């Protein structure tokens, strides 16, 4: 998606589009499916504006949040769809607001709940400007219409710890060692290193289920199999936000955490091929099996 562009424009005027502009841009189709756009062309836009055609019930997008979007762009001059993440071979994008995307889209998304569909009618100045985007047949000066389906965003409500019933782990799993009531390491005595991805639920959780893709907030402690110290952890810091299902974390996490509930505590044992493989990382030798305990504290 050709989205990155820095501009100094003021962005979209949320929910202030004139009736005539809304009437000139007709969007059909359900949230989560490719939208169909019928645009009266050539479209004339004096000021960028936006409106919602479907309002969700999820967490609201923060001004500096990361959101997972299905995004469709159309040329306001021709009415033709320029590019869409719904196209074959594409996938949803991970958009950091205020950093990677158009100001008009940032302003339109801010404050909207996840599972919403937002339409943005944007001036050229708020998108590709005089340069245009020849790779998607947008000329300099062309207005742009965007349809954004907000699939997920950073959780705004984060648990203090795991919830739900406890589940006894198998005897062959590493034992979590706690300090002051939080995970601080593993004891590997008697544990059996598996060859395949192993996911052990230790607390079931009681909240919404992690889907693919989703933004989550989590605490974790990660160690190389057999190691005394963590190569990374967040239990002594603030929970971290991640996208699940987009390849932005190791493959084991993209697989292991989907289907788990908010509030779950999960032990994840990752074989090298689903972690970093033959590529050594800081404090992680090549071809290492990794062990994580993960508390899923929020689902956006």
- In the chain, the domains with their CATH numbers are 13-151 (3.10.50.40), 175-299 (3.10.50.40)
- H-helix segments, the chain: 19-24, 103-109, 251-256
Q: Measuring CA to CA, how many Å separate 271 from each of 175, 210, 242, 260, 268?
A: 18, 22, 21, 20, 10
Structure confidence by residue, pLDDT tens digits, 149-203:
999 999 999 999 999 999 999 999 999 999 999 999 999 999 999 999 999 999 9
The Cα 84–Cα 71 span in angstroms is: 6
Tens-digit pLDDT profile for residues 89-147: 999 999 999 766 899 999 999 999 999 999 999 999 999 999 999 999 999 999 999 99
What's the per-residue H, E or C state across 171-217? CCCCEEEEECCEEEEEECCCCCCCCCCEEEEEEECCCCECCCCEEEE
Q: Is the pLDDT of residue 210 over 70?
A: yes
């Amino acid at each position: 998606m050709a989205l990155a562009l820095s501009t100094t424009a003021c962005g979209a005027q949320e929910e202030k589009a004139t009736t005539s502009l809304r009437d000139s841009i007709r969007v059909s189709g359900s949230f989560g499916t490719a939208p169909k756009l019928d645009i009266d062309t050539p479209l004339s836009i004096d000021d960028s504006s936006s409106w919602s055609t479907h309002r969700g019930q999820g967490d609201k997008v923060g001004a500096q949040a990361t959101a997972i979007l299905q995004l469709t762009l159309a040329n306001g001059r021709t009415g033709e769809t320029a590019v869409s993440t719904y196209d074959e071979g594409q996938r949803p994008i991970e958009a950091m607001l205020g950093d990677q995307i158009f100001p008009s889209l940032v302003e339109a998304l801010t404050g909207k709940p996840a599972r919403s569909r937002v339409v943005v009618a944007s001036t050229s100045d708020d998108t590709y400007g005089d340069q245009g985007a020849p790779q998607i047949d947008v000329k300099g000066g062309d207005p742009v219409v965007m349809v954004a389906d907000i699939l997920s965003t950073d959780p705004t409500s984060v648990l203090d710890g795991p919830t739900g019933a406890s589940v006894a782990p198998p005897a062959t799993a590493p034992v979590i060692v706690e300090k002051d009531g939080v995970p601080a390491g593993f004891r590997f005595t008697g544990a059996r290193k598996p060859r395949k991805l192993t996911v052990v639920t230790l607390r079931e959780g009681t909240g919404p289920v992690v889907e693919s893709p989703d933004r989550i907030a989590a605490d974790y402690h990660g160690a190389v199999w057999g190691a005394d110290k963590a190569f990374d952890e967040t239990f002594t810091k603030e929970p971290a936000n991640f996208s699940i299902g987009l390849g932005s974390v190791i493959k084991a996490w993209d697989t292991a955490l989907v289907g788990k509930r908010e509030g779950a505590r999960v032990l994840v044992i990752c074989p090298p091929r689903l972690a970093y493989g033959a590529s050594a990382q800081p404090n992680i030798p090549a071809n290492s099996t990794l062990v994580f305990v993960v508390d899923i504290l929020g689902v956006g």
